[in-house]
Amino acid sequence: MNLCNVDIRVKIGQRLRELRTKKGLSQEKFAFTCDLDRTYIASIEQGKRNVSVANIEKIATALDMSIYEFFKSDLFK
């Protein structure tokens, strides 16, 4: 699969799942940490949500990283 042709929503979802699982967090615990609904986190990870900038900030903060660090991945090249 050519990553350039993958929808940005899918890339964000893949990155979120990668970082969340590295921290050993369930979707439920992570959602609680960033004050978002678990089903919302699940739909982001499935590439079904167009995530707002405000929620990307919440997600990055909950992962203890900057937005820049969140997007610092080969997925976004």
pLDDT of residue 6: 79
Distance CA 49, CA 42 (A): 9
Residue type for 4, please?
C
pLDDT of residue 3: 58
Spans of all domains in the chain: 3-76
CA dihedral 51, 29, 66, 58 (to 10 degrees): 40
Residue type for 10, please?
V
Residue type for 29, please?
K
Token couple for 47: 């590439």
Token couple for 33: 């940490």
pLDDT of residue 4: 62
pLDDT along the chain (77 residues), means of 10: 76 98 97 97 97 98 98 95
pLDDT of residue 54: 98
Q: What is the fold of 3-76?
A: 434 Repressor (Amino-terminal Domain) (1.10.260)
Distance CA 41, CA 36 (A): 7
